[in-house]
Chain A
Amino acid sequence: MTLYAFIFYLLAIVILIATGLAVTRRQPIHAVLYLIVAFLSTAALFFMLGAPLLAAFIVIVYAGAIMVLVLFVIMLFQQSPKERRLLSEWGPATFLGIVFLAVAVAMVFKDPGSEIVLRGAVAQPRDFGRFLFDRYWLAVEIVSILLLVALVAIIHLSKRRDTEEIERCPSPHPSPPRDEGKGEGVSYQKEGHQ
């Protein structure tokens, strides 16, 4: 077993344990912290598999931006979003996962190409960037438009929510009360002074 193989199996064990702990937590904040470990190990794995630029992107985007976003959203909730019940769908879900895994492993090892040992190679970030903007520039532009659309959608959703809040709140210039009863008029005056 070469040194690279040893590092690969070590990283695989770390990723599997961290992901397994993350998907079984009932407290989402613990799951996010375990998932950061899994993503950092994935970045190391990408670095070893010859993708240094993608390793940097995994650290920046996945472990940095997305997980911090999830953490902030968890902090937005007033009570802790812990699940009250234990997972009652645990059995069927595990069964589905095991069936999927058995089929996938059988398919992988039935293919004679799976025995081929990977040769080490590195896609330098400079070459990768040139390749990307040389041949897939249209896809890059489409992805940037996708991100822009997501941004606009998020702003629109949060903004419409704000206007609904304003509509539901008592307006600062209420229309005069329709019925002419005395009590109603007095209460309306009090509300106006508040």
Chain B
Amino acid sequence: MIVPLGHVFVLAGLIFAMGLVCLVAHRNLIMTLIGVEVMMNAAAIAFVAAALRWQLMEGQAFVLFILAVSAAEISLGLMLVVSVYRRTGSIDPDRYDILKW
């Protein structure tokens, strides 16, 4: 007897929208990656709520895979950010002009 399923989904939707805004609005590659993390967190909340609604453990298994994929994504993304910072001296994506010629 916790809460209606829709309320958990609305919470997940709110967090996902915040991650979307963070992903689009910031001019900082680290903040962009943080936005992706927030969106994955929202997806995990929705999966766990669905697993509880249908009393199936598949939803929780998917959350585990989301965790692993997000760990791989954030480590590779941060590696690319560090690499591009060493190359250009900036993490503002508006200031990259290596490919311009």
Report which A residues bind B (CB closer than 8 A).
2, 4-5, 8-9, 12, 15-16, 19-20, 22-23, 25-26, 28, 31-32, 35, 38-39, 42, 45-46, 48-51, 53-54, 57-58, 61-62, 65-66, 69-70, 73-74, 76-77, 81, 83-85, 87, 89-90, 92-94, 96-98, 100-101, 104-105, 108-109, 111, 113-121, 123, 127-128, 131-132, 136, 139, 143, 146-147, 149-150, 153-154, 157-158, 161
Contact = CB atoms under 8 A, between A and B. Distances in A.
B45 A45 contact: yes
A144 to B, nearest CB: 8
A49 B64 CA distance: 15
Main secondary structure of the interface of B (DSSP, over half): helix
Contacts of A94: 21, 25
B30 to A, nearest CB: 4
A84 B92 CA distance: 9
Contacts of B2: 2, 4-5, 8, 48-49, 117-120
Contacts, number: 238
B57 A123 contact: yes
Interface string B53-64: 101010011011
A69 B78 contact: yes
Contacts of B70: 62, 66
Nearest to B79: A154
A108 B48 contact: no
B30 A73 contact: yes
B3 A5 contact: yes
Interface string B77-92: 0111111011000011
B3 A8 contact: yes
A22 B80 CA distance: 22
A146 B5 CA distance: 33
A165 B51 CA distance: 50
A41 B79 CA distance: 28
Contact of B48 (A46, A77, A115): A46
Given A96-B21, A109-B6, 19 more contacts: A2-B1, A8-B8, A15-B11, A16-B18, A35-B38, A38-B41, A50-B51, A54-B44, A54-B60, A70-B74, A73-B78, A92-B24, A100-B13, A116-B5, A117-B1, A118-B2, A119-B52, A121-B55, A157-B80
Contacts of B81: 73
A143 to B, nearest CB: 4
Contact of B26 (A87, A132, A149): A87
A161 B83 contact: yes
B63 A23 contact: no
Interface in B16-61: 16-22, 24-28, 30-31, 33-35, 37-38, 41, 44-45, 48-49, 51-53, 55, 57, 60-61
